[in-house]
C-alpha cells in the first residue's frame, strides 16, 4: 500500500537526526588507523552504480529486498541475489564486475510473479589520484552492461549500455565522504534511456564493529525510449526505456552501517526510501552484503 507523500519529510527528518547523532560521537573515543584507507568502507546503497573509489580485490555477495512503489500499477516486492567481484591488477587499476544475479519479482496485483537472470556488467577503474597524506582519492571508470538477462524481469532489452563514471573519497580522520557521478549511455536509445546518476555518502568510525553512514542516490533521465509507457525509470536495476520519463529525476535517502567483522571481512546493512515524486518503482529497500577482501 502506498504511503502518504507527507511521510517523506518525516522519514528524512528521522534519517537526518539518526545520522547526526551518530556522526556527533566523540572522535577521541575511537582508535584511528595510521592509514585512512584501512578505515574506509565501501557504499552499501545503489550497489551497481555507486562504485568505491578505492582499488581492492574482493568478493561481495549482495541481497536486496525491494518493496515496489504503487506508480507501477501494483505493489509487492522484488528480491535480488547477486555477487560482485573486483580484482586489483595493480594498486591503482582494477577489473570490476558490478552487475549479475537472480531477480525474483512478486507483485501483488496486475502483473504475474516472475523470476530470471539479471544482465551482466563489467569494466575497469583507475585511481588517477591516490594521496594518502591528504586522505583523498579520485578514480574514473567504465563499465558495459551486456543484455544477457531475462525479459520476464525487465532485463535483456536493447544492445547494451555504457556507464562512464568518476568516484572520489575524502577523509577527515574518522569522518569520510564518498561521491560518484556518471552517465548511462545506451547503444540502442529506442529500447533504453540515457541517464545521469549521482551518489553521496558520509560515514563515521565509532569502532570497527559499527561504522554508521547516511547516503543519497539519484538518477536523471536524459532521453525517451520506446519501451514501457510510464513517466519514470527503473532506478539502478532496471532500464525500462520509458516513453514519458525525459527530465525525470528520482532520488532516495539511505541510512545504515558497516561492521568490520574480521580484518578482511565487512558486513553492511542499508535502508533506503524515496524523497522525490513520483516514487516510481521505489517503495523502500533493505540491502545486506558481505565484502571479503584478498
> Whole-model pTM?
0.86
**pLDDT at residue 279 in the model:** 80
**Which secondary structure element, helix H or strand E, spans residue 156, and what is its range?**
none
Assigned C-alpha cell, 100: 549479475
**pLDDT at residue 70 in the model:** 74
Determine contact, residues 163/156, Cβ cutoff 8 Å. Answer: no
Pick the CATH number of 7-293 from 2.10.260.10, 3.30.70.270, 2.60.120.590, 2.40.160.40: 2.40.160.40
What are the pLDDT tens digits along the chain (294 aa)? 334 433 444 444 444 444 444 444 434 344 455 688 888 999 999 999 999 999 999 999 999 999 988 766 667 999 999 999 999 999 999 999 999 999 999 988 767 899 999 999 999 999 999 999 999 999 999 999 999 999 999 999 999 999 999 999 999 999 999 999 999 999 999 999 999 999 999 999 999 999 999 999 999 999 999 988 888 899 999 999 999 999 999 999 999 999 999 999 999 999 999 998 878 889 999 999 999 999
CA distances from 264 to 130, 170, 260, 267 (A): 21, 22, 8, 10
Query: Which residues, 6 or more positions from 178, have their beta carbon under 8 angstroms from its beta carbon?
Result: 43, 50, 52, 53, 167, 168, 169, 199, 200, 201, 203
118 DSSP 8-state letter: P
Assigned C-alpha cell, 32: 584511528
**pLDDT at residue 9 in the model:** 41
**Which secondary structure element, helix H or strand E, spans residue 117, and what is its range?**
strand 114-117
Amino acid at each position: 500500500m502506498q504511503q502518504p507523500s507527507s511521510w517523506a519529510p518525516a522519514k528524512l527528518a528521522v534519517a537526518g537526526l539518526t545520522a547526526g547523532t551518530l556522526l556527533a560521537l566523540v572522535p577521541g573515543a575511537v582508535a584511528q588507523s595510521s592509514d585512512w584507507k584501512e578505515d574506509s568502507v565501501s557504499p552499501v546503497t545503489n550497489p551497481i552504480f555507486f562504485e568505491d573509489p578505492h582499488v581492492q580485490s574482493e568478493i561481495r555477495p549482495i541481497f536486496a529486498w525491494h518493496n515496489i512503489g504503487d506508480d507501477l500499477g501494483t505493489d509487492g516486492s522484488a528480491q535480488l541475489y547477486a555477487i560482485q567481484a573486483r580484482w586489483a591488477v595493480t594498486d591503482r587499476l582494477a577489473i570490476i564486475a558490478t552487475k549479475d544475479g537472480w531477480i525474483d519479482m512478486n507483485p501483488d496485483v496486475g502483473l504475474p510473479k516472475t523470476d530470471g537472470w539479471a544482465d551482466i556488467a563489467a569494466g575497469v577503474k583507475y585511481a588517477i589520484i591516490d594521496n594518502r597524506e591528504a586522505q583523498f582519492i579520485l578514480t574514473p571508470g567504465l563499465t558495459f552492461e551486456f543484455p544477457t538477462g531475462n525479459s520476464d524481469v525487465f532485463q535483456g532489452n536493447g544492445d547494451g549500455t555504457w556507464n562512464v563514471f568518476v568516484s572520489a573519497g575524502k577523509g577527515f580522520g574518522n569522518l569520510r565522504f564518498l561521491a560518484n557521478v556518471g552517465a548511462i549511455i545506451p547503444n540502442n536509445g529506442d529500447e533504453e534511456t540515457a541517464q545521469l546518476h549521482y551518489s553521496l555518502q558520509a560515514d563515521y568510525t565509532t569502532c570497527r564493529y559499527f561504522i554508521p553512514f547516511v547516503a543519497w542516490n539519484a538518477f536523471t533521465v536524459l532521453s525517451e525510449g520506446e519501451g514501457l509507457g510510464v513517466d519514470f525509470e527503473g532506478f539502478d536495476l532496471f532500464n525500462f526505456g520509458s516513453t514519458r520519463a525525459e527530465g525525470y529525476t528520482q532520488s532516495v535517502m539511505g541510512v545504515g552501517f558497516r561492521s568490520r567483522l574480521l580484518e578482511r571481512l565487512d558486513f553492511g546493512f542499508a535502508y533506503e526510501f524515496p524523497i522525490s515524486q513520483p516514487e516510481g518503482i521505489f517503495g523502500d529497500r533493505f540491502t545486506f552484503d558481505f565484502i571479503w577482501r584478498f
